[in-house]
Amino acid sequence: MRLSRRGFFGVAGGAGLVAATASLGLLRLGPASSTGTELRSEAPLPQAFSRPLTVPPIARPSTGTDDYRLTARAADVEILPGLPTRIWGYDGQFPGPTILARSGREVSVRVSNELPVPTVTHLHGGRTPAEHDGYPTDLILPVGTDWAAQRLTGASSVGQRDYRYPLRQRASTLWYHDHTMDFTGPNVYRGLAGFFLVGDEQDDSLPLPRGDRDLPLLVCDRAFAADGSFRYPAVSPDQTTPGVQADYMGGVLGDVVLVNGVPWPRHEVDGARYRLRLLNGSNARRFEFALDPPPPGGPPFVQIASDGGLLAAPVARDSVTLASAERAEVVVDFAGYPVGSEVTLVNRLGSGGAASVMRFVVARTAKDDSSVPGVLSVIEPLDRSQAVTTRTFAFQLKRGPMGSAPGGHAGHQGDPDSADPSLMWMVNGEAFDPDQDLANPRLGDVEIWRLMTDLHHPVHLHLAPFQVLRRGFDPPGPGDLGWKDTIDLLPGQTAAIIMRFDGYPGRYVFHCHNLEHEDMAMMANFSVG
């Protein structure tokens, strides 16, 4: 029995929304750089660059070398000075512990759920058998509650679940996070995310910066209530009804930038090269990272890797733009700055608090044996001629069948304070339905997918890494290099991506990684057979 089919979406409080949707341009969808609406913090905020950067602890295997246990639970942590913030985090931490894995060596992770709500864990960028991929209805239900009666699905478990990751894939900066149907936005916002770094011999063989000079940086935006709690405009914080308040339907943006859970941190560095593994862990905000001031001599960033690991060759970049869930690895050479320099990592797409990310302070000169070789890896280009089919998917805000979604609730029909309940973010006019496939690629086939948008939609494909073929009439952009699992699509854009459905048969999802869009139905199945 599957009762968890999405039904009514509580887009409450938006009397003006129905009229406004006559023209998408009138909908409150935020600044041109991101689709979303900013929440303001009510708590006193710390001075920017006053708190030290922390790096998430490395997870320790429970038994053997590659068996891990993580507990999703609530914890009170001090993000703002003197105020507790109740987070939901893996092992009560935000970000969760970093898992260090090796290509070709299976990792198992037992996730226990001590949250008051169901959770699902997905390894983002993992090439994972379907039953371990964290399908959005494969819930880990809390023990001893009535969730089991309400949201029981065939593959749900109670209390804990073992995920197995074969990791037959190249070195890359992956991350794990909640993927619960309808509630990924609030769950990730509360902190259910962590790094999962895959290494391999190719990466090891390069003279890139290592150790303390290899920094994973999970960057995200949040807003805080006066008591220090996270502000999130959920229709029902107890998760009885999915969705956010109508004004935030475009996405939830915060006015505080956290790096590894610290607001606008400060980090002392040697005058040497650093490898920064940038991950945009925001629900909806896009970042364009740049250095202020730029280094006097060379390029600010030398990009060495994207979502799926090393590029074929390094690329000098003035700035790096990442949409939700995208990663970029860049090398910054702080030797170009005089000792004592303060170098701010800024966000050119943000204003106010969202314009700053963190600050590096060049503390000392130092020996540096690292370098960035001219050749990093070999990337097999997928060729159009290999593709057996081309599919087209439109990511758009659409009006669904009024209150008649299969298995849906009667909802708030007739509630005068409720906006049109059928307004959803959809793929090809379809709201996510776990029982329906929008594509059935054959195992091993190469396909081209054309992706079309109305607004910003960072589209993420599970299982199959892809290469970007075109953006509109243009060749791929600098942010499209290498193997990708998420593409930052701009409003009104059409892009072509190519992928091989290698790995495992089964049912997977692809979706918008603006988490409010994802929760409001912008997700679809593909089944590999």
Which residue ranges make up the site for Cu ion (CB under 5 A)?
A: 457, 512, 514, 517
127 or 460: CB nearest Cu ion: 460
Q: Considering the complex, what minimum distance in angstroms separates the CB of residue 498 from Cu ion?
A: 21
Q: How far apart are alpha carbons 233 and 248 in whole angstroms?
A: 7
Q: Kindly state the greatest CA–CA separation across the chain.
A: 70
Q: How far apart are alpha carbons 417 and 248 in whole angstroms?
A: 16
Q: How far apart are alpha carbons 279 and 195 in whole angstroms?
A: 9
Q: Considering the complex, what minimum distance in angstroms separates the CB of residue 134 from Cu ion?
A: 19
- The residues, ordered by sequence, that sit 6+ positions from 297 with a Cβ below 8 Å of its Cβ are 336
Q: Considering the complex, what minimum distance in angstroms separates the CB of residue 522 from Cu ion?
A: 5
Q: How far apart are alpha carbons 508 and 461 in whole angstroms?
A: 9
Q: Considering the complex, what minimum distance in angstroms separates the CB of residue 325 from Cu ion?
A: 11
163 or 432: CB nearest Cu ion: 432
Q: Considering the complex, what minimum distance in angstroms separates the CB of residue 251 from Cu ion?
A: 7
Q: Report yes or no: 422 and 430 within 8 Å, Cβ to Cβ.
A: no
333 or 516: CB nearest Cu ion: 516
Q: Considering the complex, what minimum distance in angstroms separates the CB of residue 32 from Cu ion?
A: 15
Please confirm whether the linkage preceding 97 is cis (ω < 30° from 0).
no
Q: Is 231 left (phi over 0), alpha (psi -120 to 50) or beta?
A: beta
Q: Report yes or no: 170 and 311 within 8 Å, Cβ to Cβ.
A: no
Q: How far apart are alpha carbons 112 and 91 in whole angstroms?
A: 9
159 or 492: CB nearest Cu ion: 492
Q: How far apart are alpha carbons 140 and 111 in whole angstroms?
A: 8
How many other C-beta atoms are found inside a 10 Å radius of the C-beta of residue 502? 16
337 or 425: CB nearest Cu ion: 425
Can you tell me whether residue 294 is helix, strand or coil?
coil
Can you tell me whether residue 120 is helix, strand or coil?
coil
373, two tokens: 């070789």
121 or 514: CB nearest Cu ion: 514
Question: H or E segment at 14?
Answer: none
275 or 456: CB nearest Cu ion: 456
- The residues, ordered by sequence, that sit 6+ positions from 108 with a Cβ below 8 Å of its Cβ are 66, 67, 68, 162, 163, 164, 165
Q: How far apart are alpha carbons 311 and 468 in whole angstroms?
A: 13
21 or 41: CB nearest Cu ion: 21
280 or 514: CB nearest Cu ion: 514
Q: Considering the complex, what minimum distance in angstroms separates the CB of residue 455 from Cu ion?
A: 7
Q: Considering the complex, what minimum distance in angstroms separates the CB of residue 250 from Cu ion?
A: 9
Q: Considering the complex, what minimum distance in angstroms separates the CB of residue 252 from Cu ion?
A: 12
**Paired sense of beta strands 107-113 and 287-292, if any:** unpaired
